[in-house]
Structure 1
Amino acid sequence: MALQPCKSCKQQVDDSAKLCPHCGIAHPGVKGIEVIAGILVVGFIIAISVSMCSDGESKKPVEQKVPAEVVINSDSGLSRLPEKTMPESLLSEVSSLEIEPGEYVEQLNDVFKKIKLKYRVSTKGVVIGDVNDVLKVPIGKHSFLIARLSKVDGKIIDIVIVGGGDGSPSSGLDIMMIASAALAAAAPAVEFDEVFRELPTLLKGTGRIYGDVKISAKVMDDLGTWFFAESVEKSDL
């Protein structure tokens, strides 16, 4: 049995308890950020599935075999799976960040070292999807990093950092530091310090473009603060 603070009253409770004995809230040991991250991953998978169904109804897909690349409990990078048949319509060019998960994780850990944050991440923890796979990485107590991975070449399509603090200044600063590091690692043309300075602008709804990467942020009310890194086509710059 492990004890941790109740998410509501902050009294010590069993992390597997169904009800808090102090305030009566359900599942007191489950943190809100964990629920948000789970919802986001499920949302990715549902969106992908709907896309597949809609495409199948509009026209008959042309089958084409492509290699599927995924990361499964590996710190060293990608593991190749047997070829999988996918509709050609789902293999149209998708802009990616042009970075492998292992390379991105290495860059992020380097940023953490430079700014003296104790966190380190790996490429473990992938949810397998029909069209894209999703890498979900918890960072600290208040943040999750979620990246969509292409099955065509295994590269990261885009990245979302979800932050949900406990209302304390320290948790807010922790989320800002993690988000800035994660965005800087995704955009090699910008350093951590500049991303950190630009966070207030990002949170007001104004994105920033660094090289081929656009970064942005959005406050999602009760769902915390979300930070995004995605590719920008050169023709749109």
Structure 2
Amino acid sequence: MVDWSSLDTVFLDMDGTLLDLHFDNYFWLEHLPKRYAEQNDLAPQAAKDHLIPMIMAERGSLNWYCTDYWSDRLALDITGLKAEVGDRIGYRPHVVDFLDALEASGLHSVIVTNCHPDPLRLKLERTGLDGRVDAIVSSHHLGKAKEHPEFWHDLQQRVPYRASSTLMVDDSFPVLESARRAGIAQCLAVLAPDSQREANAHHPEIPGIYHFDELLPALRERQSVPSGQ
């Protein structure tokens, strides 16, 4: 599924890949409509019917992920509202073991996320994830989402990498397809990003896993190979 011997760099998505997407889905589909309804004197379902199409219209763009954009548009403190349900932030199964094995393998690990820097800080405070990888890059620092074809070129300027020896792991097929078009050698999908929802269907051309324990034996085998072998 992954040719670990050919890799130098592993790019990792955060939400839905390392962290349970339940937090984000719950926030956007339940908590935000509830708070929006309270502020605007609406019935909860009316608020949801108003918000969800508005949010979905921005899907794939940087605005979709931008806390500042939604705070301005909805006249709400989105980061503050996220903190209200921050207890739902958590790792997906086997992620800590996988990250430990990745560190032991000597591969360069980089979180490449569309998460805005403000909620990113909240998630790092809750998880300590920044202490388990070599670097973190938010697409907001580059001014374009991972789905954008020029994202990967701009990422190269910030985190030099060789596409031919890089793996990208993400729960978003549009992101993985973008990475493939940019020449990323290996792409892997996470098919069960939200612990409270059914898994996604397999992609016809991109291999997928449900949980990281599926990768651990081969990754640990790489660790056990003596240097120079």
Pick the structure with more strand per residue.
1
User: Same fold, TM exceeding 0.5?
Assistant: no
State the TM-score, normalizing by the size of structure 2: 0.26
Pick the structure with more helix per residue.
2
Higher relative contact order (CA 8 A, sep 6+): 2
